[in-house]
Structure 1
Amino acid sequence: MSRLPQEIIVDILTYLPAKSLIRFKCVCRSWRSLISDPQFAKLHLKRAYEDENMNRQRLLVATDPLYSVDFEAASDGDNGNALVKLPYPNAESHNDSFAVGLFLGSCDGIVCILDEVDNVVLWNPSTRESKKLPGPSSFLNKDFSTGLGYDSSTDDYKMVIASSATATGSDQIMVEVFTLKTNTWRTVQGSLSGITLGGRYEGVFWNGALLWLGKQEGGAAHDLDVIVPFDIEEEKFMEAVPLPNHFYTAFLSISGNCLCVLGQLKPSGSCFEAWLASEYGVETSWKRLFAFPVDKLYLDCYSTEMWLTKKGEVLVDNRGCPGKLTLYHPVEDARKLLKVENDGDPFYDSAIYTESLVSLC
């Protein structure tokens, strides 16, 4: 390997999973320096997003023990590598206990966690690096929407908490923004005219914006009508975009480089649909992928995460059915169940993340 040009070595290493690269830091000093370089971490992450053959998406399940689920491996029948137990993150000391309460956001392999004693912690499950954040002002006392995103203009990660309750009852909404480089929170004011955010909801980061589901004023009581974007760089709300259909319940996720919305349609919620968009804006063009009767899937108010595999299967985390993850193929009408151990709270949370080497320093 030493006879190869450095750029060839770098290119080869970007194809490898984070777990292997962390072990390879012990090969020699030059490899340790290379793999620890933030620029290499960016190249490695870029490869994961651009190469369709890569399989670095995981479902992080806040059971006890904590699990990382490779749902693509499960889809391919590789059950031996589908479920991996992880140690709980510990941002303060190696002797203190730590338990996950809620996932507040995920971006580039970094996951934001609210623990059981209301600490906010950033964690990279691949590198095991964690960082406890200073507490925000008072978001825990209100309905709130959260998310984690990347500001390419400053090369910084931002945690966002948007409170759907205001003291004045106006269109103004309080938004708290944490920046990793400054390690501080600040408050910015936003406006959502005629739109209500969908309560405690973890936003999806896509194309420079955090996306939440919202309800347009005047709609039916349970309809989710619009997607509400928050520009990470400008730190302001953008114009809401209508959903491709009226959903009774819905989830946002990313499939490849496209935005995906999955959920039950009104009025009765008896039909389940999946839609895809490659570009985002007021004139967003949506494509319906499939539809099927909702009784093909076990769904309830506790279902917390949905995703599409490369084979077109729907991943559903039914935390209301403890320890059960479902992969459903709508064309073949085939179902696979993945069971995880859980000695903790049966109503656990979950989040999608990308395996990466991104550092919190």
Structure 2
Amino acid sequence: MAVEHKKAVGSVWLPDDVFFSILSYLPAKPVARFRSVSHSWRDMLSSAPFVQLHLRRANRPGQLKDGGPAKKLMRHGFSGGFSRITKPLHGLVLLFLFHSYGRGFFVLNPCTNALLTLPDTKYPLNNNRHLGTNLSGKYRLPGYMYWLYGLGYCSATGEYKVVRLFSLPYDPEAAATFCEVFVLDAPAYWRPTAQQPPAPADHNVKVMVTDPPVFLNGLFYFLCRDGLDVITLDVGDETFGSPPPLPVANMALDRNSKLTLTELDGCLCSYYREACSMRSYVLWLLRDGDHEAARWEQLCRVDTEAWPDPPWSIAPLTMLDGSGDGEKKIIFKTDKCVVLGVDLNGSGTSATPPEILLNPEDAVATAAETHLSPETTTATCRFRSEYPPELSLFEESLVPLGRTLEEIVFSSPATRAWSEVLKLLPARTVSDLSLVCREWRAMVTTNRFIRSHAVHSNLIATHPRIKLVVDTPRDYLDASGFADLDDLIISGNRPRMCTSTSFICSPPCHGLNLGTFRRTNYLFNPCTGYQVELCPPDYDYDDRVFDGVMALGYDAATGAHLAVHLDCWNFEMRAYELRCRTQLVGGHEVWKPAESPPRAADMEVPGAYANGKIYWVVDRKFGPQPSSTAAAACELLVFDMEARKFEVIQGPPCRLPRITLLELHGALCVACSDPATDAIDMWMVKDDGAWSVEYRLEIGELSPEYSLETTSPMAIDPVDGRILLNTGTSLGYYDPKTRALETIYSVDIRHDNEGLRYRFCPVICQESLVCPLPGKY
């Protein structure tokens, strides 16, 4: 016999089904707190029947004056800003964020503060043309200029779907539009819709990128930017269609306004500012939009000229019952974030001025939500002065967002098993296998798999992996042109490579390399073909041109790469001003000022990252002259990645013109040429802080090709301890024990017609899938 669970209220015992009914009328936040009462209450309040019942009852229709709070306005509580926020769908909103949480599209439930990050939205792969290659190293074409995201719900399957529509491709032979869908809480990645948009008459059709599509009655409504065309997408079967033509001609719009779509009174609404009047707005409704008898009807014409302090622009938010006599009110928001109520009958006349429901100037900054109800005598909201206010509708909801993509992917035992196998393979092989299916691609692009692959691929000591930059043009770097050294040796190919204009490449830093070519810095992963240009910091407010040097570091605390740029003003005139700027790789492409370095860095010696710090050689042409005891030793400028602080330390006793900084055994190594002995000394710091020569390379005993003027150590082989040397035309391994040299690759590069001497550029790379997307479209 089943036992009926009851709860005590005073001296009365109530069954759970009574609480089930009572709690469904309460706001979402108190109900969410009740989940912690017991496990049975948590299960009950999280069940789909209760969530659906609460959604209906907590947002039951009400009147603006006599009824309850039918609608609410929502203001974000994040530390940054957002734009392109959609109207609530079962309480969920889709918004584009650009703040401390990170850039990209998110699904938010304001009631429960649940925030779900959507994958591949920060800088969408289908949108970005600057990222020349995809994970498999192949060119990703076509790449679209415009994009649009929307949130919908399929009642037949109970799925929440996010769709995105791309238009205006860079490749003229590609489809004019391309549509993809992402299902929340489903183990899949972005996939093409079942049907793609029909080919338009104008190949250059563009979707309206400033506003999200309108979702209504199972259909998405996309407004085209050029012309007045609207296309629809059925969220269920993912097929496209078209509603009746919009009831407006181009001549009815003025050059400073646009036609906009929204939802109003359960219908699709189009509104625009008339060309004949800067203060007059016309609103149309599409009646029976989901039937063949769909037709456009003019709802009203709102003339704001007679309003006190007329706004520059208005936008309808919702339509509500007025005083209970069947009268309707349209709720508008203005460009000044003022919320107005306008009577539908007699709208736009001086006899019926709008009712001010929310005025930020009179608001009390104590809450983030404002009820559109008569009981709210003083509107309460929170605005931040550094960000423009954004208002949108708000619904009470306990609808869950589901799991993140990473949680969904690794919840499958089969996927976890495949991840254990794939993480042992080379990065390029994994990139190629990511095209097998969308589940695999979703898995290998998660941070969890990338970190696991990086750890396991570098556990076993192997010979340094060397690639050569090939076919580098004179004016820019094509980092997709990497040739594996082993393939060149086997094939015997000797292509002409990097020009005499020096290409300086850093050692690998957790899978990424930094290269400098013609004063332009590039960040790339040679294993995957990933490449992005790092733009230098802008000129300062006095338009002074800063010359500088850039280095790449890794912040272990955040697991992110950081580009550090040091520069000084008026380098040739010996009048300088030091400064430091940092940029989070894959972030907002914003250079942030950091602590100024105490000394200037030598621009001719590239910096090196080792064990959480970036090192540069101090340029002694600037700053105080060293004492006689320190004159024989170099100084090193050190930037701590965690503390974001500078310090100057004493380097090894070498003040000779050729110095190279590199990482050796996880620590800093300073390689100095010694003309007196015709050798290269590789210095490292011992535990007591003293510098000592770890290796000594007797260059004088080698062939004339390996001279002090051209030879630089690049890495040490962890297998046999030999040192890799580079002259620009030859690569060889030097054994410090036997002093033997083995040349593994060389080219005979002669002068061209312009008298320029060509040389190749070798790059040491690590097996890694790290591909932070660039901070640009």
TM-score (norm 2): 0.37
Verify the 8 A CA contact 2:220 2:232 in the aligned structure 1: yes
Q: Structure 1, residues 164-199: CA drift from partner, whole Å, max 9, x if none?
A: 323337763111221112252123432252465333
Tell me by how many angstroms 1:123 deviates: 1.4
Which residue of the partner structure matches residue 359 of structure 2?
338
Q: Counterparts of 1:234 and 1:267 in 2: how far apart (Å)?
A: 42
- Would the alpha carbon gap of residues 309 and 298 (structure 1) be closer, same or farther in structure 2, given more than 3 Å must change? farther
> Which is greater in Rg?
2
Picking from 318, 338, 353, the partner of 1:325 is 338
Q: Structure 1, residues 200-255: CA drift from partner, whole Å, max 9, x if none?
A: 321221101122333675xxxxxxx3443221122232223323445633443334
Picking from 60, 64, 81, the partner of 1:100 is 81
Pairing 1:59–2:80 present: no
Which residue of the partner structure matches residue 272 of structure 2?
263
Pairing 1:138–2:125 present: yes
Q: Counterparts of 1:169 and 1:275 in 2: how far apart (Å)?
A: 37
Tell me by how many angstroms 1:37 deviates: 1.4
Pairing 1:187–2:192 present: yes
Verify the 8 A CA contact 1:120 1:132 in the aligned structure 2: yes
Q: Structure 2: which amino acid aligns with 1:288?
A: Q
Picking from 134, 147, 152, the partner of 1:149 is 152
Which residue of the partner structure matches residue 495 of structure 2?
none
Pairing 1:22–2:32 present: yes
Tell me, what secondary structure is at the counterpart of 2:272? strand
Tell me by how many angstroms 1:327 deviates: 0.6
Verify the 8 A CA contact 1:48 1:55 in the aligned structure 2: no
Aligned-residue identity in percent: 24
Which residue of the partner structure matches residue 229 of structure 1?
232
Q: Structure 1, residues 121-160: CA drift from partner, whole Å, max 9, x if none?
A: 2211101111222214336653222210112233211111
Pairing 1:360–2:401 present: yes
Q: Structure 1, residues 42-61: CA drift from partner, whole Å, max 9, x if none?
A: 22223456645664533333
Q: Counterparts of 1:349 and 1:250 in 2: how far apart (Å)?
A: 20
Picking from 280, 285, 291, the partner of 1:276 is 285
Tell me, what secondary structure is at the counterpart of 1:127? coil
> How many residues were matched structurally?
316
Tell me, what secondary structure is at the counterpart of 1:228? strand
Verify the 8 A CA contact 1:104 1:146 in the aligned structure 2: no
Pairing 1:36–2:39 present: no
Q: Counterparts of 1:226 and 1:5 in 2: how far apart (Å)?
A: 56
- Would the alpha carbon gap of residues 14 and 174 (structure 1) be closer, same or farther in structure 2, given more than 3 Å must change? same
Picking from 178, 188, 194, the partner of 2:182 is 178
Verify the 8 A CA contact 2:342 2:353 in the aligned structure 1: yes
Q: Counterparts of 2:312 and 2:329 in 1: how far apart (Å)?
A: 15
Which residue of the partner structure matches residue 307 of structure 1?
318
Q: Counterparts of 2:268 and 2:59 in 1: how far apart (Å)?
A: 14
- Would the alpha carbon gap of residues 345 and 231 (structure 1) be closer, same or farther in structure 2, given more than 3 Å must change? farther
- Would the alpha carbon gap of residues 241 and 59 (structure 1) be closer, same or farther in structure 2, given more than 3 Å must change? farther
Q: Structure 1: which amino acid aligns with 2:263?
A: I
Q: Structure 1: which amino acid aligns with 2:383?
A: N
Question: What stretches of structure 2 of length at least 5 have no aligned partner?
Answer: 1-5, 8-12, 129-144, 323-327, 347-351, 361-380, 403-777
Pairing 1:112–2:132 present: no
TM-score (norm 1): 0.73
1:211-250 to structure 2, matched below 5 A, reads 211-214=221-224, 217=227, 225-246=228-249, 248=253, 249-250=258-259
> More deviation in 119-128 or 36-45?
36-45
Q: Counterparts of 1:6 and 1:259 in 2: how far apart (Å)?
A: 41
Tell me, what secondary structure is at the counterpart of 1:165? strand
Tell me, what secondary structure is at the counterpart of 1:229? strand
Verify the 8 A CA contact 2:207 2:223 in the aligned structure 1: yes
> More deviation in 105-114 or 3-12?
3-12
Verify the 8 A CA contact 1:147 1:205 in the aligned structure 2: yes
- Would the alpha carbon gap of residues 145 and 134 (structure 1) be closer, same or farther in structure 2, given more than 3 Å must change? closer
Q: Structure 2: which amino acid aligns with 1:15?
A: Y
Which residue of the partner structure matches residue 483 of structure 2?
none
Q: Structure 1 or 2: larger strand share?
A: 1
Verify the 8 A CA contact 2:179 2:197 in the aligned structure 1: yes
